[in-house]
Amino acid sequence: MITLNRVSFSYGNDGTACACEQALSSLSFQIESGEFLCIAGPSGCGKTTLLRLLAGLHTPTAGEILVDGDPVRGPREDMAIVFQDYALFPWMSARKNVQFSIRQTHRGISAADAAAMADRFLAQVGMLGDANKHPYQMSGGMRQRVAIAHALAMDRQILLLDEPFGALDAKNRTDLQNLLETLWYSSADPETRKTIVFVTHDIQEAVRLADRVLLMEPGGLSEVIPVPLKRPRAISEGPDADAFRQIRRVLTEKLMELDKPAGRACKCGGPA
């Protein structure tokens, strides 16, 4: 379980934490173990900042973040994170990038076994045929698929994903949504299921994947919307299709309301 207790975070004009521009203010909520939580909200509301705080890449200026009661004080071995602009090692092929994750996680694994595992994860994201390409030889969408294979190969209990499918075309996006849900939901025991925190600007994607959608407004939490639909999710057909469209409509209307311009003053007098 991940718990946020009155978490606040502010950026200075140089990007450091200080009391200038407040990105998050007194944010409190819980993410259940094994939950698939999507975070949505207007641009600039603090979604990526929140993910970086969860990952231990930023330190709250106030409050605390706990994982099973332990304070987050830096990057943790039980977490993997993928940003939309995730950087692969440029001197390594796609296969070598994924192998690196595997060998970090599975100490003592042979090179042959690591290569076989890497190929399995690359096949899952549709990149096995490009396994020998280097990042400079790939499109943005191809690099992102390798990054997702890289994160899956790490086999961490908590996955933090920041718009991981944003650079993909519609077909690949749908394919990877299906893959992610299948891999997450395939655990027979919900108590051993991975916890996924997934930032997205796509409401349909949020309803397609989430147990709950956390709607953010500039500086904090607006509300949390449950998505009580059976899995696998039906978007355009099946008994839950009408319920799917209704939840999507409610979330879209709420997001449009939150997206109205609102200025924020910076305490140091600089631009907010």
- One-character DSSP codes across 196-243: EEEE-S-HHHHHHH-SEEEEEETBEEEEEEE----SSPPSSSSTTHHH
Query: Looking at residue 188, what is its pLDDT?
Result: 56
157-206 residue pLDDT tens = 999 999 988 878 888 888 888 888 888 887 656 677 899 999 998 999 99
Which tokens in the block code for residue 129? 């045929």
Question: Would residue 71 count as lying in a domain?
Answer: no
Average pLDDT, the chain: 85
Residue 67: strand pairing partners: 2, 70
pLDDT lower than 50: segments of the chain = 13-14, 263-267, 269-272
The domain in which residue 129 lies consists of 87-156+170-189
- Residue entry with tokens 């299709």: 241
Single-letter residue type at 199: V
Single-letter residue type at 103: R
> CA angle 90-49-28, nearest 5°?
145
Question: Would residue 196 count as lying in a domain?
Answer: no
Question: Would residue 246 count as lying in a domain?
Answer: no
Question: Would residue 69 count as lying in a domain?
Answer: no
Question: Would residue 111 count as lying in a domain?
Answer: yes
Query: Looking at residue 265, what is its pLDDT?
Result: 44
Question: Would residue 124 count as lying in a domain?
Answer: yes
Number of folded domains in the chain?
A: 1
Question: Would residue 263 count as lying in a domain?
Answer: no
Residue pair 234/241 in contact (Cβ under 8 Å)? The answer is yes
Query: Looking at residue 184, what is its pLDDT?
Result: 86
Question: Would residue 132 count as lying in a domain?
Answer: yes
Kindly report the number of other CB atoms within 10 A of residue 102's CB atom: 21
From residue 149, alpha-carbon distances to 27, 87, 116, 122, 223 in Å are 31, 13, 13, 6, 32
Residue pair 65/54 in contact (Cβ under 8 Å)? The answer is yes
What pTM did the predictor assign?
Answer: 0.85
Long-range contacts (CB closer than 8 Å, 24 or more residues apart) made by 69-78: 76/158, 77/156, 78/156, 78/157, 78/158
118: domain CATH number is 3.40.50.300
- Find the helix packing angle between 111-124 and 94-105, rounded to 10°: 120
